[in-house]
Structures are given as C-alpha cells and as structure tokens.
Amino acid sequence: MGLERVSFKRERLGLGKMNWAIIAVVSTILFVFYFFRRFEKAEVSAKEIALIATMTTLAAIMRVPFAVFPSVQPTTFLVMITGYVFGAQTGFVVGALTALVSNFFLGQGPWTLWQMLGWGICGSIAALLAKQEKGFNLKNFTALAAFCGYFFGWIMNIWHWVGFVYPLNMKTFLATYVASFPFDTLHVLGNIAFSAVFGQTFYTVLKRFQRKFRVVFFK
C-alpha cells in the first residue's frame, strides 16, 4: 500500500507538472499568434515589410557571432530601437522573427517560442516609452534596455522552470531565478553598452529612414 501511495503521488505530481507546461506553452502560443494575426489583418506597405525584413536580418545575424559570449548580444538593443521608432506592432514582429530566424543558425527548440515572446515584448515596451518622450532620451532608453535584460531572462526562466525543474514549487521557482541572475546581469550590461554606444546613431538613422519614405506605422 505504501509503495502504491508513493507511486500515485509521483504520478499526480507528474500530471501537475505536465498541466503547468501545457498551460504555459498554450498561453505563449496564443499571445504570439494574437500579434501576428493583428499584423496580418493590418494594411502593411511593401516598404514596411522591407523594413521589418531588414531589421530582423540585422538583429538575427548580429546575434550569431556573439553566441560565444553568454547572454551578451546586440539583439535586444536592435529590437528595442526598432520598436522605439516604428511602434509596438513593428517592434513585436521584428523581435519575434529575430528569434525564429537566428535559431536556424543557433538551433531551434521549444525555447524558440519563449524567445519570440520575450524579444517581441521588449520591442513593444520600447514603443510605449517612445510615446512618453519627445525625440530620443538616451538615458531613459538605456535604463529600459537594462530592465529588458532582466525581463527577457525572467520569461526564459519560466520556460526552464516549467520544462526542466521538478517539483514545481516556490522554492524551485526562486532557485531557478537565483541561478540565472549572473547570466541575466551580463545581458543587462550588454544592453547598457550597446545602447550607450549605438543608441543615438541608430535612432537618427531610423528616423531619417522613416521620414524619407513617409511610411505610416502602427501605433
């Protein structure tokens, strides 16, 4: 009887873990699908598609050579500066597609979906900041980029916790976040460096592109 109870308890714990995993994955899929559905229904010009393709390619390619440095890459900065200039919808699409495209070189897996969500939200958050600013505020943008370094890590930690940690409880949840803190901090420092060095330059170039082609972007 004792062995049967232990076995039954383990089975219930396993089902609970699977349920949490299913809920997390389905919620993420629906969130990403919602943004792409909105993008599909909107009136998108050929120039905007070209812009999205260009920024996605740049962010994806620049991620590859930095893969040897744990958590340090310019991808988050590039996604955020795109969202800052061109709006939340464009920022999310560029962020999501960047994860998908770059992982054709670095390896696809269940983590791709969570990276799409994380970078997509970072692009949208930057657009929300732009609405509060007149022009480009490097200090505020850099501070937000630092926050997004941790925020992206928090999203990826959920995937890791649900998919690989057992049992699922507050103790293992906190342990997962504590273990990732050094890597998330490297991401933060990288975002600060890229924003401080290239932020104003990229903003000026992208704004010039926006004015030159007179593209109407999503708000």
Distances (CA, A) of 22 to 25, 29, 118, 155: 5, 11, 18, 16
C-alpha span between 208 and 194 (Å, rounded):
20
Which tens digit of pLDDT belongs to each residue from 124-168? 999 999 999 888 999 999 999 999 999 999 999 988 888 777 777
Domain spans of the chain, in order of start? 2-213
The domain at 2-213 falls in which architecture? Orthogonal Bundle (1.10)
> What is the block-wise mean pLDDT of the chain (219 residues), using blocks of 10 residues?
42 51 67 69 75 91 88 94 93 92 87 90 94 91 96 90 80 91 95 96 91 57
51: Cβ contacts below 8 Å, ≥ 6 apart: 86, 90, 209, 215
- CB of 55 closer than 8 Å to CB of 61: no
Own/partner pairs, 10-18, CB within 8 angstroms, 24+ separation:
13/166, 13/167, 16/168, 17/162, 17/166, 17/167, 17/168
C-alpha span between 60 and 76 (Å, rounded):
10
